[in-house]
Amino acid sequence: MKADFECIVRDNTPWMLTYVRNRISNKDQVEDIVQEVWLKAYRAYDKYTEAGKLKPWLMRICQNTVRSYYSSSERTVLVSLDVERDENDPLYNCLSASLTPEEIYLKDELLREVLSAVNKLPDEQREIVTLRYIWGFPVNETAKITGIPTGSVKSKSHYALKELKKHFGIKERFKGDRIMKCTDIRKYLFMYALGKTSAERSKEIEEHVKECEVCSKALTALKNLVPHINVDDDVEYAHCLVHIPEIDAIYIGIRSRENHEEINKKLKELNGDISQEENMMRSVWGKIAELKCYFDHDGNELPWRIIGEDETHNYAKVDRIERVYENNWQYCMLTSPTGSEKKLFDYVPSEEVPGLFLGDAGETFNVGTPMKTMRYQAVPANAKNIKIRRGNGVIDCDTYKFAYSDRFICDDDKIALEYTFELDN
């Protein structure tokens, strides 16, 4: 069902005015441009079919209109510096909640400085920073609005934030950077807990968790959990999955017994480049998760790429690995797909019993050879009466408890992790 066009105009004009006002220097033109946007939107509305994506669609029209305004007039300042007190401006809103006039003045000054720095960035970076960090669009929508591929949006954001940091002479405090830092740091928490990160990376992580409570909690729990993850040497194949819903991270370890001497000989011949070796280090992922990074036994991050997909799965392949071991571990980290609102498996409150939560960490299927599987899911440290339906226990890891199931599965076996627990309000 398409919403009534009049309602759309009423709901979206305020942010549009702010959006345009912050992008052009000639304030007399703002309303004319917005009017032009609505005219274009009205004409195209019949053809607009993407349900739920109205705002990015309007944003795109807005942006194109501003662009054509620039191509037809003298280009001066793109991001205006005189910020108005517009309550529909998300940036102004987040800065001005219950502040004294003095604080508002200081925040406005800060805002001016930030915008002035943003304004000095190259065109695409400025656009991306504005959309992602000022307007709060996720990466995939930013990509859609700008027509820049997702990967480039990420890398350009990264460079832009680096520039901004340099400009302000700030190391850790810039908000956008801090956001990036958490997602970056979380890739490596399990590797750190295993003692497999480089000295440099370890230092970054230690610095970060000093300031970041959520990452710190996850790391403490992982460090306490690691000694419980044991696989005997004679086990041929093992799979372990550690899920921490609060940081949207799944850490996976896979251990296999390798014909390591032969493989290492080949790797040496290839100089580690296995990009042409179709069957080496291939993997399959259910589309409920997005692969973030891959590590070898020693904790080196490995380059990988998606080589194909079907409706439910992505196929990935590692392109380079230096060596393997007889009992060889490889690791990776996954999160919910970018931009998806549905989280990976999680625990959810019961609809019938207040205070009761239902935990579910999905299933692992046997991959053809008998394997030991271990699944762990973090629940709050104050969870009580944890009842595991199938599987076998709970490990208290200080900042979280881990519900787990672990056993051998073979043939068509699969293992699930389902449980319930209670939380006080």
Task: By CB under 5 A, name the binding residues for Zn ion.
Answer: 182, 212, 215
**3-state secondary structure at position 386:** strand
Task: Identify which of 130, 242, 114, 116 has the alpha carbon closest to the alpha carbon of residue 186.
Answer: 242
Nearest distance, CB of residue 216 and Zn ion, angstroms = 8
Whole-angstrom distance, CA of residue 265 vs CA of residue 128: 46
Nearest distance, CB of residue 159 and Zn ion, angstroms = 21
Contact 239, 409 (CB under 8 A): no
Nearest distance, CB of residue 229 and Zn ion, angstroms = 23
The three-point CA angle 110-114-117 to 5° equals 140
- Complex with Zn ion: residue 167 or 292, whichever CB lies closer: 292
- Complex with Zn ion: residue 172 or 261, whichever CB lies closer: 172
Nearest distance, CB of residue 279 and Zn ion, angstroms = 38
Nearest distance, CB of residue 154 and Zn ion, angstroms = 18
Nearest distance, CB of residue 261 and Zn ion, angstroms = 41
Nearest distance, CB of residue 179 and Zn ion, angstroms = 9
Nearest distance, CB of residue 218 and Zn ion, angstroms = 8
Task: Identify which of 362, 300, 305 has the alpha carbon closest to the alpha carbon of residue 329.
Answer: 300
Nearest distance, CB of residue 381 and Zn ion, angstroms = 18
- Complex with Zn ion: residue 115 or 212, whichever CB lies closer: 212
Task: Identify which of 31, 25, 17 has the alpha carbon closest to the alpha carbon of residue 86.
Answer: 17
Whole-angstrom distance, CA of residue 248 vs CA of residue 343: 8
- Complex with Zn ion: residue 41 or 212, whichever CB lies closer: 212
DSSP labels for 143-184? HHHHT--HHHHHHHHHHHHHHHHHHHT-SS--HHHHHHHHHH
- Complex with Zn ion: residue 177 or 418, whichever CB lies closer: 177
Contact 74, 25 (CB under 8 A): no
Beta bridge partners of 295: 301, 331
Task: Identify which of 320, 310, 234 has the alpha carbon closest to the alpha carbon of residue 270.
Answer: 320
- Complex with Zn ion: residue 178 or 320, whichever CB lies closer: 178
For residue 47, how many other CB atoms are within 10 A of its CB?
A: 6
- Complex with Zn ion: residue 113 or 206, whichever CB lies closer: 206
Nearest distance, CB of residue 162 and Zn ion, angstroms = 18
Contact 293, 334 (CB under 8 A): no
DSSP E strands, 258-299: 282-286, 290-295
- Complex with Zn ion: residue 201 or 260, whichever CB lies closer: 201
Task: Identify which of 163, 142, 186 has the alpha carbon closest to the alpha carbon of residue 378.
Answer: 186
- Complex with Zn ion: residue 208 or 372, whichever CB lies closer: 208
Find the radius of gyration of the CA atoms of the chain: 25
**199: exposed, middle or buried (Cβ count in 10 Å: 0-12, 13-18, 19+):** exposed
- Complex with Zn ion: residue 30 or 212, whichever CB lies closer: 212
